[in-house]
Amino acid sequence: MNSSPTDSKPDRHGFASHLCYFQSGDHTAGWMPRDQVRLSIDDVGFRQGVTAVERLRTYDGDVFCIDLHLSRWNQTLADLQINLDASNLVADLLDTLVVKNRLLIQSQGDVGITLFATPGEKNAANPTLCLHLNPIDHAMVDRKQHQGQAVVVTDIQQPPNQCWPRTAKVRSRIHYYLADHLARQQDSSAIGLLIDGDGSVTETSVANIAIVESGCIVSPEPTQILAGITQSVAMEIAAEASIGWTQARITPDRLRAADEVLLMGTDTGIWFANQVDGNTINRGKRGPVCEDLQRLFLKATRANPSIDLE
């Protein structure tokens, strides 16, 4: 991506003042500092929680898997019936977002990107659309990749497709919030795992989940979860490495008995659960399958991968 003489410069405000794109119905459209973005209290995204969202990140300054993310974004817009020509508009805006904030991205060593859209205010001619950056805690990413994270199976149920399609990535996240709240009552660093109607596990607020049994990976059935971009890449590199991968319903007991428990999400990439419900997994250490996937994933995401896997 080309640089621009109009790139915003990092200052003491950092992300608070980086340049975002914001289109608010019939009122505002253009680039502005993040701290000037204002969402109307009459916006349907606020009043009714109808908000499509997509989360991306950069690796070495480039947006990762942009086509896969935009495909999922377009599906969410269709599911929510938000009329936005996303295919070309958002791709161009993403490119411009990175260009305008190039110096901030370089200073941060890669960043997250958030897109969101709502139907706008009632009777608005145009939807609301926003693209902005968000920081990645690289120290925490490194810690999770090397030391893992606790997972707690909760009794919070994944909303069924009869509520809204699981293909949609949305800001209606009360179920995730409650699951994480329950998990952190047991362990302050834990994430909560949702269950399906039959009691099998589905996903967390930030990650798809999979188990390893005798060297083979098993993840929940596709109809149970939001299709994760990181998981889709993990499945591709696992196939290239001849690591078996199947999809099936996973009970909490099967999860707790797994050789390894894998976690996959945008900000952190591939990491692992060091315990489930207080039960240690693989002596609390990263397992061989996770280590292999991390190494292969880094090769897929970075021009010059470097990570201490010892």
What's the CA gap between 251 and 87, in Å, rounded? 38
| Domain span(s) for CATH 3.30.470.10 in the chain | 14-136
Q: Which fold has domain 14-136?
A: D-amino Acid Aminotransferase; Chain A, domain 1 (3.30.470)
From-to residues of CATH 3.20.10.10 in the chain: 141-301
61-65, 190-194, 218-222: segment of lowest average pLDDT: 61-65
**Does residue 57 sit in helix, strand or coil?**
strand
Residue 223: pLDDT band with limits 50, 70, 90: very high
Q: Has domain 141-301 been given CATH number 3.20.10.10?
A: yes
**What's the pLDDT at 84?**
85
Three-state DSSP state, 64 = coil
> Alpha-carbon distance 131 to 66, whole Å?
14
Given phi > 0 = left and psi -120 to 50 = alpha, else beta, which region is 199? left
Angstrom distance (rounded) from CA 53 to CA 188? 27
- Is the pTM higher than 0.85? yes
CA distance 198 to 280: 25
pLDDT for position 305? 45
Helices (H) and strands (E) in the chain, counts: 9, 14
Rounded to a whole number of angstroms, the CA Rg of the chain reads 20
Which of 20-29, 116-125, 182-191 comes out lowest in average pLDDT? Answer: 20-29
Q: What pLDDT, on a 0 to 100 scale, did the predictor assign at position 6?
A: 40
Residue 304: predicted pLDDT:
45
| 70-113 confidence digits (pLDDT tens) | 999 999 999 999 998 655 789 999 999 999 999 999 999 899 99
Confidence of residue 25 (pLDDT cuts 50, 70, 90): confident
